[in-house]
Amino acid sequence: MPQARIRRTARVAALCVLAASALTMLTGCGEEDPDAGTNGVGRLPARKIQTQSRAAADAAPAVHLAGTVVTGGVSFKLDMRLKSGGGSGSVTSKGSTFQLLRVGDELYVKADAAFWNHGGDTSAAGKLDGKYVKVPQKDPAYRKFSGFTEKDVLLPALLTLHGKLATAGHHTQAGTRTIRVTGDGGPGGTLDVSLEGKPYPLRLVRGGGAGTLTFSEWGKDFPAAEPAKSETVDYGGQLPGS
C-alpha cells in the first residue's frame, strides 16, 4: 500500500476516534439518560411534576393507599381503597382497629366490643360487636370517619407539598421507576411520582414526621356494596361516645 494512502487512512482513523470522544463528552461521558423510555415527567420542573401527578390522581377511578398519618398528635394506620362512589378498609389508632365502609352517603363502622367499650357503655358494646354500625350523618363521628373514605377529599389534602419544590433524583418504588419531588414547607416532605405510564403518586413522606403512605392499584375497581341487614345495626341518632 502506498505510504500516502497509509497516512491518509491513519488520519481518518484518528479523526473518528476524536469524534467519538467528543460525542461521549457531550452525552455525559457515556452515562445513560435516566429519563429514557419514561413518561417524560422527570424532565419537568418540580411544581409541574406535582401538578401532573395530582391531575393523574384526580382522574383515576380508584386507588389503594396504605401507611400512617399523624394528625393532631394522633397516629392513624390506614389501609383503604377509595373511589368516587365509596371506600372501604381499616383504620388503626391507639391500639384499636375498626373497619370503614362508605357506599354513596351511607357510612358504616365495624369493630369489636373492646372498641365500643371505650365509651363506657358495655351494654351497647355487646350489641355492636362485629356488626356494621350505620353512622348518622348528623353525628360528629360521621365527618371524622368519612374523611378516610373520600378520595376527592383525602388525596388533595395529602398530595400537596408546600414551600419551595425541587427534584431529588430518580428512585424506585415497588419496582417502578420514580422521580422524587421535595418541599421545604411544612416542614419538608417528599413525593415519589411514577415515571412509567401515567405519572401517579406512588409514595408520600409527609413533612414533620406526619406519616408515610404508599399508593397502588390506581384505576383498579373494588366492590363497595351496602352490607346485609343481618350484619347491620342502626344505632339511632348518635353513636356511643367511643
Q: Is residue 26 part of a domain?
A: no
What integer is the mean pLDDT of 42-53?
Answer: 97
More confident residue, 94 or 20: 94
pLDDT confidence of residue 15: 47
Q: Is residue 88 part of a domain?
A: yes
Question: 189 lies in which domain range?
Answer: 41-234
pLDDT confidence of residue 186: 79
The answer to whether residue 120 scores a pLDDT higher than 90 is no
Q: Is residue 76 part of a domain?
A: yes
The answer to whether residue 62 scores a pLDDT higher than 70 is yes
Q: Is residue 11 part of a domain?
A: no
Q: Is residue 99 part of a domain?
A: yes
Tell me the average pLDDT of the chain: 86
The answer to whether residue 21 scores a pLDDT higher than 70 is no
Count of domains observed in the chain: 1
Q: Is residue 219 part of a domain?
A: yes
What span, in angstroms and rounded, lies between the C-alpha atoms of 213 and 170?
19
Chain CA centroid to CA 84, Å:
16
What span, in angstroms and rounded, lies between the C-alpha atoms of 19 and 157?
53
User: What is the residue-wise DSSP string for 54-95?
Assistant: HHHHHH-SEEEEEEEEEETTEEEEEEEEEETTEEEEEEEETT
CATH number of the domain enclosing 100: 2.50.20.20
What integer is the mean pLDDT of 17-39?
Answer: 63
Q: Residue 68: beta bridge partners?
A: 77
Q: What's the pLDDT band for 47 if we cut at 50, 70, 90?
A: very high
**pLDDT (tens digit per residue) in 155-192:** 998 999 999 999 999 999 999 999 999 999 878 899 99
What span, in angstroms and rounded, lies between the C-alpha atoms of 90 and 98?
6
Q: Is residue 195 part of a domain?
A: yes
